[in-house]
Structure 1
Amino acid sequence: MIEIKDLHKSYKMGSNELHVLKGINFNVAEGELVAIMGSSGSGKSTLLNILGMLDEADAGSYTLDGIPIKNLNEKIAARYRNKFLGFIFQSFNLIGYKSALDNVAMPLYYQGVKRAERTEKAMHYLEKVGLANWSDHLPNELSGGQKQRVAIARALASEPKVLLADEPTGALDTKTSYEVMDLIQGINDEGKTILIVTHERDIANMTKRIVNLKDGIIIDDSKVEQVKASANV
């Protein structure tokens, strides 16, 4: 599903150049649930931005579902993001003046899906995350855990090939974090490919594979015995 070969990325810092990714080689098969870990400055956010087509590598190759991701103009990148990727963020990134239902339906609007079908699909995914009864509520009327569930429903609504989650439990307490991970594990069990950037070891242990980055290189890439979140909920 994802093939990364010899990926390099540098940024200009005044007169200096900061080499953030130093030859990353990394494959993800369809249906995997992978955690990417590393301390601040390790390159994990840069890698996620490249995977999400929000940034582009200086050298190396990135192939997503058989399609080379290179030299895309913003219009094509946006279309590919909408087609292939669902995003889940630490800060939820919900639109404050729109209901939960409208937030979930937003990616479908950009795909040109008609209103009735958008509403039906959005409601289906709100039901999937256990929030059908909250569909007409605004984000400020929801708890942190509920907001993240809405964000997960929104990420799923466009039926992407891959979910990219950036610290999805970072703003949540432990119990709510495990409830969100229980939901993510269930989505993965249905066959969805999911990558999670996290600095929390207990969250990483709830995936099936942990990739550790340090100073722009992968220092460890191991399959792990998955801890079931439901055992801690």
Structure 2
Amino acid sequence: MIQIKDLHKSYHMGSNSLHVLKGINFNVKEGELVSIMGSSGSGKSTLLNILGMLDEADEGEYILDGVPIKNLNEKTAARYRNEFLGFIFQSFNLINYKSATENVALPLYYKGIPRKERIAKAEHYLEKVGLKEWSHHLPSELSGGQKQRVAIARALASEPKVLLADEPTGALDTKTSYGVLELIQEINDEGKTILIVTHEDDIAHMTKRIVNLKDGVIINDSIVEQVRANQYV
């Protein structure tokens, strides 16, 4: 599903250059649930941005579902993002004046799907994440955990190949975090490929594979025995 080969990325600041990714080699099979860990400055956010087509590597290959991701103009990158990827953010990124249903339906608008079908799909995915009764509520009327569930429903609505989650529990308390991870595990059990960037060890062990980054290189990549979140919920 994802193939990364000898990926390099540097940022130039005046006469200085910061080499952030230093030859990353990384493959993800369809249906995997992988966490990417590393301290601040390790390169994990840069890697996620490249995977999400929000940034581009200087060298190396990135192939997503058989498609080489290279030298894309913004229009093509946006189309590929909408086709291949669903995003889950730490800060939810919901539109405050739109209901839960309208937030979930938004990516479908950009795909040109008719309004009636958009709303039906949005309500389906809200039911899937356990928020059917909250579909007409605004984000300000929802708890942190409910907002993240809306964000997950929004990510799923466009039926992406891969979900990319950037610190999805970073703004949540422990109990709520485990509830969100329970939902993510259930989605993965259905076959969805999911990558999670996290700095929390307990969250990482709720995935099936942990990739550790340090100073722009992978220092460990291991399959782990998955801890099921529902035993804590």
Matches within 5 A, 1:133-172: 133-172=133-172
Q: What residue is the counterpart of 1:113 in the other structure? A: 113
The SS at the match of 2:55 is coil
Alpha-carbon separation, structure 2, partners of 1:14 and 1:205: 40
Q: Once the two structures are superposed, what CA deviation does each residue of 1:1-25 show, in whole Å capped at 9, x if it has no partner? A: 0000000000012321000000000
Partner secondary structure for residue 39 of structure 1: coil
Q: Give matches, 1:171-210, under 5 Å.
A: 171-210=171-210
Equivalent runs, 1:68-147 vs 2, <5 Å: 68-147=68-147
Structure 1 residue identity aligned to 2:58: D
Take 2:209 and 2:196, find their aligned partners in 1: how far apart are those partners?
A: 10
Deviations 1:183-220, CA, capped at 9 Å, x for gaps: 00000000000000000000000000000000000000
TM-score, with normalisation over the residues of structure 1? 1.00
> What do residues 139-179 of structure 1 show as CA deviations (whole Å, max 9, x unaligned)?
01100000000000000000000000000000000000000
C-alpha distance in structure 2 between counterparts of 1:57 and 1:198, whole Å = 22
Alignment partner, residue 14 of structure 1: 14
Whole-angstrom distance in 2 between the partners of 1:145 and 1:9: 34
Contiguous gaps of at least 5 residues in structure 2:
none
- In 2, Cα distance between equivalents of 1:231 and 1:132: 24
Q: Distance in 2 between matches of 1:198 and 1:132?
A: 28
SS in 2 for 1:195: strand
* CA distance, structure 2, for counterparts of residue 167 and residue 117 of structure 1: 31
**Matched residue of 2:48: which SS?**
helix
1:212 aligned counterpart, secondary structure = strand
Instruction: State the one-letter code of the partner of 2:231.
Output: A
1:109 aligned partner, one-letter code? Y
Q: After the TM superposition, list the runs of 4 or more consecutive aligned residues in structure 1 that deviate by more than 6 angstroms.
A: none
| C-alpha distance in structure 1 between counterparts of 2:73 and 2:225, whole Å | 41
CA RMSD between the two structures? 0.3
Amino acid corresponding to residue 31 of structure 2 in structure 1: G
Please give the secondary structure, in 1, of the residue aligned with 2:106.
Answer: helix
What are the ranges of 5 or more consecutive residues in structure 1 without an aligned counterpart? none
d(CA) in 2 for partners of 1:231, 1:56:
40
Deviation at 1:107, TM superposition (A): 0.5
Say which SS state the counterpart of residue 211 (structure 2) adopts: strand
The answer for the alignment partner of 2:51 in structure 1 is 51
Q: What amino acid maps onto 1:123 in structure 2?
A: E
Asked if residue 60 in structure 1 is aligned to residue 60 in structure 2, the reply is yes
- Equivalenced residue count is 233
Q: Residue 214 of structure 1 corresponds to which residue in structure 2? A: 214
Letter in 2 for 1:103: N
Partners of 1:7 and 1:96 lie apart in 2 by 37
